[in-house]
């Protein structure tokens, strides 16, 4: 696999990282695959290059830097707050055809002032791109997964449906398909009639006993990864989810929320108005949203030049709040993208909760944008 050339603007980029008092780190090209398969999201999972070690451990070529940087931080027991920067190759299958390309970025770990950290990071992304693309007009689109989660939870859906909708955030096609299922529930197909009758009766003890008998008869029990009780409860949950219907007014509210798209300077009032009209309690999520806007304004960033889209997300499962992307005005190629991932370090093994936010720069796309028009 041939290596690509380091972009000629790399020295300017490293200078920007130094000015922002980041610690530059590198991570091995060969990474354990499990964290990416478990936490990175379906879009990235489809593009990973997998391999195995001599002992059978599942490995992969580094598909991104956030997870490796977080793992390194945990392994080295480095205190926080800590700002890391990186520049190196990542490897993934891409629609553009190339399989390896350079990414750079900043990971800001442990800053407890969430709003200030979000604003600083957005300012970093815009500031760095402005230096690399002088005189170009940039467009920033911002979303907030925490606000979406607050809306979904306020509608009172079963936890399983909340998880499904939150998992689909940012994938409008998948989200619309789930909303359609909530509008028109479909029965669970393919169940054994006796199992179906026991599910309908609500007799869990007899259901568990029947599943146990079936497993013994078929010989499945010796290799089963789940107990009869776990299988029974999974079937009960599946039935509950299949039968759940979101009433028309709630479905209309959720769809109305997802259509919100307006200048960031107008977003706070629009969200507050939506919450009041819908009688939804979104207080903490909206308070954090407002604090971020105030921090962005205090940093001198033009909120009217940024766009808030309620349905906007990014195709990585570990995001928890802010998500954003930067493009050149009139173009579709994402030059920088990132967001907040406050749960990731705990999931990767950190003993304490570590708030985190970061962004990546797509250097091949920036290089294309720098070419004379």
What secondary structure does DSSP assign to 209-266, as a single string? Answer: HHHHHHHHHHTGGGT-SS-HHHHHHHHHHHHHHHH----HHHHHHHHHHHT-EEEHHH
Mean pLDDT, residues 147-152: 94
- CA separation for the pair 160, 363 (Å, rounded): 39
Q: Is residue 297 part of a domain?
A: no
pLDDT recorded at residue 190: 61
Q: Which of 371, 372, 306, 366 shows the shortest CA–CA distance to 129?
A: 366
Average pLDDT score over residue span 317-329: 94
Q: List, for residues 166-203, the tens digit of each pLDDT value.
A: 988 988 888 888 888 887 766 656 667 777 777 677 77
What is the number of structural domains in the chain? 2
Helix or strand holding residue 34 (H, E): helix 34-39
Q: Does residue 122 surpass a pLDDT of 60?
A: yes
Percentage of residues of the chain with pLDDT beyond 90? 60
Q: Are 274 and 151 in contact (CB under 8 A)?
A: no
pLDDT of residue 61: 94
Final residue before a domain boundary, out of 243, 268, 301: 243
314 is in an annotated binding site: yes
> Is 91 domain-assigned?
yes
Mean pLDDT over residues 209-233, rounded? 72
> How many Å apart are CA 13 and CA 19, to the nearest integer?
10
- How much is the pLDDT for 2? 40
Ligand-binding site membership of 72 (annotated): no
- On whether both 31 and 125 belong to a single domain, the answer is yes
pLDDT given at position 244: 63
What 8-state DSSP symbol labels residue 133? S
Known binding residue 36? Answer is no
Q: Is 359 annotated as a binding residue?
A: no
139 with 200, same domain: the answer is no
Whether residue 348 is contained in a domain is answered as: yes
**Is residue 255 a known part of a binding site?**
no
Domain termination site, one of 207, 226, 243: 243
CB 247 within 8 A of CB 157: no
Question: What is the Cα–Cα distance from 51 to 40, expressed in whole angstroms?
Answer: 17
The mean-pLDDT minimum among 225-234, 248-257, 276-285, 324-333 falls in 225-234
For residue 76 the two structure tokens come to 């080295």
Angle, helices 10-19/114-132, rounded to nearest 10 degrees: 150
66 is in an annotated binding site: yes
Query: Domain for residue 5, yes or no?
Result: no
State the chain's mean pLDDT as an integer.
88
Within this chain, do residues 17 and 118 fall inside the same structural domain, yes or no?
Answer: yes
In a domain, 257, yes or no: no
Query: Does residue 303 belong to any structural domain of this protein?
Result: no
Going by pLDDT thresholds of 50, 70 and 90, the confidence category of residue 214 is confident
- Per the model's pLDDT, the better-predicted residue between 161 and 308 turns out to be 308
Choice among 94-98, 247-251, 320-324 with the minimum mean pLDDT = 94-98
pLDDT at 224: 56
Supply the CATH number for residue 361's domain: 3.30.930.10
Q: 210 and 134 in one domain? A: no
The pLDDT value given to residue 288: 96
107 within a domain of the structure (yes/no): yes
DSSP 111: -
Residue 260 lies in a domain: no
Angle between helix 204-218 and 193-201 (nearest 10):
160
Whether 179 contacts 347, CB under 8 Å: no
Do 109 and 19 share a structural domain?
Answer: yes
Residues 23 and 123 in one domain: yes
Would the annotation count 92 as a binding residue? yes
Per the annotation, does 21 bind a ligand? no
Whether 305 has a pLDDT exceeding 70, the answer reads yes
Q: According to the model, what pLDDT value does residue 245 have?
A: 65
Within this chain, do residues 137 and 72 fall inside the same structural domain, yes or no? yes
From 243, 278, 303, the end of a domain falls on 243
Identify the three-state secondary structure at position 314.
Answer: coil
**Six-digit token pair at 182?**
């909530």
Are residues 356 and 110 in contact, defined by beta-carbon separation less than 8 angstroms?
Answer: yes
Q: Look at residues 169, 320, 160 and name the one whose alpha carbon lies nearest to residue 257.
A: 169
CA dist 354 and 351 (Å) reads 9
Mark whether 25 and 124 lie in a shared domain. yes
**pTM for the whole structure:** 0.83
- Over 90: is that where the pLDDT of 131 sits? yes
Q: Is 4 annotated as a binding residue?
A: no
Report residue 240's pLDDT band, with 50, 70 and 90 as the boundaries: low
Using CB atoms within 10 Å of the CB of residue 143, give its burial: 0 to 12 exposed, 13 to 18 middle, 19+ buried. Answer: buried
Q: SS3 string of 41-106? A: CHHHHCCCCEEECCCCCEEEECCCCHHHHHHHHHHCCCCCCEEEEEEEEEECCCCCCCCEEEEEEE
Q: Sign of the CA dihedral 248, 161, 70, 37?
A: negative
Half-sphere exposure of 156 (CA within 13 A, CB side): 8
Q: Are residues 128 and 56 in the same domain?
A: yes
Integer Cα distance of 339 and 332 in angstroms: 19
Q: Is the pLDDT of residue 86 over 60?
A: yes
The verdict on 137 and 62 lying in the same domain is yes
pLDDT in tens, 27-79: 999 999 999 988 887 778 888 999 888 888 999 999 999 999 999 999 998 88
The domain of 38 spans 10-145+313-370
- Residues 20, 139, single domain; the answer is yes
Query: 128 and 26 share a domain?
Result: yes
Largest CA distance in the chain: 73
């Amino acid at each position: 696999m041939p290596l690509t050339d380091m972009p000629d603007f790399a020295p300017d980029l490293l200078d920007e990282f130094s000015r922002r008092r980041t610690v530059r780190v590198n991570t091995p090209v060969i990474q354990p695959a499990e964290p990416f398969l478990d936490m990175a999201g379906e879009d990235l999972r489809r593009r990973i290059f997998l391999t195995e070690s001599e002992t059978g451990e599942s490995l992969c070529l580094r598909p991104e830097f956030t997870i490796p940087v977080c793992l390194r931080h945990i392994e080295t027991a480095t205190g926080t707050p800590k700002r890391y920067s990186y520049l190196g190759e990542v490897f993934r299958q891409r629609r553009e055809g190339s399989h390896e390309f350079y990414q750079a970025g900043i990971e800001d770990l442990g800053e407890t002032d969430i709003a200030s950290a979000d604003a600083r990071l957005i300012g970093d992304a815009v500031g760095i791109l402005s230096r690399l693309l002088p005189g170009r007009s940039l467009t920033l689109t911002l979303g907030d997964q925490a606000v979406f989660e607050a809306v979904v939870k306020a509608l009172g859906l079963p936890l399983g449906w909340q998880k499904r909708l939150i998992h689909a955030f940012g994938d409008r096609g998948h989200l619309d398909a789930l909303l359609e299922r909530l509008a028109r529930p479909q029965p669970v197909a393919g169940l054994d009639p006796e199992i179906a009758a026991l599910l309908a009766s609500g007799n869990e003890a007899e259901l568990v006993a029947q599943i146990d008998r079936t497993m013994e008869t078929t010989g499945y029990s010796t290799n089963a990864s789940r107990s009869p009780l776990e299988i029974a409860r999974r079937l009960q949950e599946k039935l509950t989810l299949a039968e759940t219907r979101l009433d028309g007014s709630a479905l209309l509210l959720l769809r109305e929320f997802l259509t919100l798209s307006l200048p960031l300077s107008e977003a706070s009032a629009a969200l507050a108005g939506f919450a009041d009209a819908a009688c939804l309690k979104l207080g903490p999520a909206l308070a954090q949203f407002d604090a971020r806007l105030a921090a962005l304004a205090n940093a001198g960033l033009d909120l009217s030049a940024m766009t808030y889209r309620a349905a906007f997300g990014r195709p990585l499962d570990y995001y928890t709040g802010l998500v954003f992307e930067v493009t050149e005005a009139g173009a579709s190629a994402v030059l920088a993208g990132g967001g907040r991932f406050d749960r990731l370090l705990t999931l990767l093994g950190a003993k304490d909760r570590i708030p985190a936010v970061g962004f990546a720069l797509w250097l091949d796309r920036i290089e294309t944008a720098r070419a004379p028009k």
